[in-house]
Amino acid sequence: MAATTSRTLELLSLLQSHRHWSARELVDRLGVSDRTLRRDVERLRELGYGIESMRGSAGGYRLEAGTGLPPLLLSDDEGVAIAVGLRSQATAGLRGAEHTTLSALAKIEQVLPPALRRRIDALASHATVGAVGRGPGGNGAGGRPAPEVDAELLGLLALACRDSERLRFRYTDASGEASARSIEPYRLVPVARRWYLLAWDRDRDDWRTFRLDRMSEVFQTRVSFEPQPMTDDEARTRVERALRWRARSVRARAVVEMPAAELTEYLGWYGRDIVADGPTRCVWPLKSDAVESMFLALMWLPRGIRYRVEAEADVLAFLAEQGERFSAAAGAEDLVDP
């Protein structure tokens, strides 16, 4: 009986992870006969799962919506995500949903293993809420895809924040330069569909904000530190201030003699902010952490297309200087002085 139940649950897990399975694929995966597969499908139907059968060469099984909500199988990461979401909902005070939210949360947390419960506790207490939506300066995400963040990394950092444990890792900044960091982590803060870690950088003796998708080789030192008092609002303010400073470090506009649709198609994702300035002209807003990165962006404009850069004097001076260096380098016999 135990083997039958285990096999049926495995079948349910397969059906939930894929839109359509052929009968042959399921038979091979489960190591059973066609007859046993049909019996297991019937057991799931008796439990309330809507499973559609299709005949023929392309036949098989797929899970469909039923008349009621049957039991669900969740992975560890899925269970953590749902529990954290329910906790946030419960503390948000949504009128009329308090009972159902707390009831669902109680059912999930009742069966959570201790290791997952620790991860949820850490995320709930050391990840601020309310910062998702608009990016620095009030601009939205603009529909751009959010970088993927490993759920295991998110849980590890939350635990380090909660336990006041020093971490070491490799970090790649916006310019592509990698460095080793030793930090004391404080809070995880989501802003504009990205996750950031607010931490005290021990080598730089100052606060730093790190994007999680740029972190790698995270090492747990098992060394504790004495944390400074900090509220969620203070942490969020520090992160947003750091992001505003980065976003405003270098700004410019490239006025390009080219229809907006054509340039947007040419540049792809990088041209997502282009706006039309008449039928044959468009404006490409540029912002970067460094003027060198902006110079490289201009190099992607199509050859032979006229354009003008509007920016502060120091940015224009840098572009003019680099233009002279390129001209000198193209016709020089010796090395050009920087």
Question: Which residue would you say has higher pLDDT here, 163 or 253?
Answer: 253
- pLDDT tens for 265-281 read 999 888 888 999 999 99
302 pLDDT exceeds 60? Answer: yes
The Cα 58–Cα 53 span in angstroms is 11
Helix (H, G, I), strand (E, B) or coil at 164: coil
Q: Give me the torsion for CA of 178, 180, 184, 189, rounded to 10°.
A: 20
Do 268 and 238 belong together in one domain? no
Residue 135 lies in a domain: no
Q: Whole domain around residue 43: which residue ranges?
A: 2-64
Q: Is residue 268 one of the residues assigned to a domain?
A: yes
- Other beta carbons within 10 angstroms of residue 336's beta carbon come to 13
| pLDDT of the residue at 98 | 46
Domain boundary among 215, 247, 279: 247
Asked, for residue 109, whether it belongs to a domain, the answer is no
Q: If you search the block for the tokens 């469909």, which residue do you land on?
A: 64
CATH of the domain at 186: 2.30.30
State both tokens at 182: 């030793």
Whether 194 is in a domain gets the answer yes
Q: Higher-confidence residue: 18 or 323? A: 323
Half-sphere exposure of 309 (CA within 13 A, CB side): 23
Banded model confidence at residue 38, pLDDT cuts 50, 70, 90: confident
Q: What's the pLDDT at 312? A: 84
Select from 46, 37, 43 the least CA-distant residue to 66. Answer: 46
Within its chain, how far is the Cα of 317 from the centroid?
37
The pLDDT > 90 percentage for the chain reads: 15
> Has residue 139 got a pLDDT over 50?
no
- The answer to the question of residue 338 being in a domain is no
**Has residue 170 been placed in a domain?**
yes
Residue 153 sits in the same domain as residue 227? yes
Please check whether residues 152 and 242 belong to one and the same domain: yes
CATH number, domain containing residue 31? 1.10.10.10
Residues 241 and 267 both lie in one domain:
no
Selection from 16-20, 165-169, 235-239, 292-296 with the highest mean pLDDT = 165-169
Please give the pLDDT value at position 60: 82
Same domain, 236 and 304: no
Whether residues 153 and 242 fall in one domain: yes
For residue range 224-236, list pLDDT tens digits in order.
888 888 777 788 8
CA distances from 106 to 98, 191, 292 (A): 12, 29, 53
Indicate the number of domains in the chain: 3
Q: What is the CATH number of the domain that holds 320?
A: 3.30.70
Residue 93 scores a pLDDT above 50: no
Confidence at 191, pLDDT banded by 50, 70, 90: confident
Domain identity same for 192 and 213:
yes
215 and 158 co-located in one domain: yes
Distance CA 159, CA 148 (A): 20
> Which residue bears the tokens 């709930």?
124
Residues 121-142: what's their mean pLDDT?
49
267/181 same-domain check: no
User: pLDDT tens across 154-187, in order?
Assistant: 778 887 888 888 999 999 887 678 889 999 998 8
Q: How many residues does the chain have?
A: 338
Using the predicted structure, report yes or no on whether residue 102 has a pLDDT greater than 70.
no
- Domain end marker among 221, 247, 273: 247
Residues 278 and 203 in one domain: no
SS3 85: helix
Q: Which of 230, 247, 264 delimits the end of a domain?
A: 247
pLDDT at position 140 over 50:
no
Q: Is residue 36 part of a domain?
A: yes
Does residue 204 share a domain with residue 276?
Answer: no
142 occurs within a structural domain: no
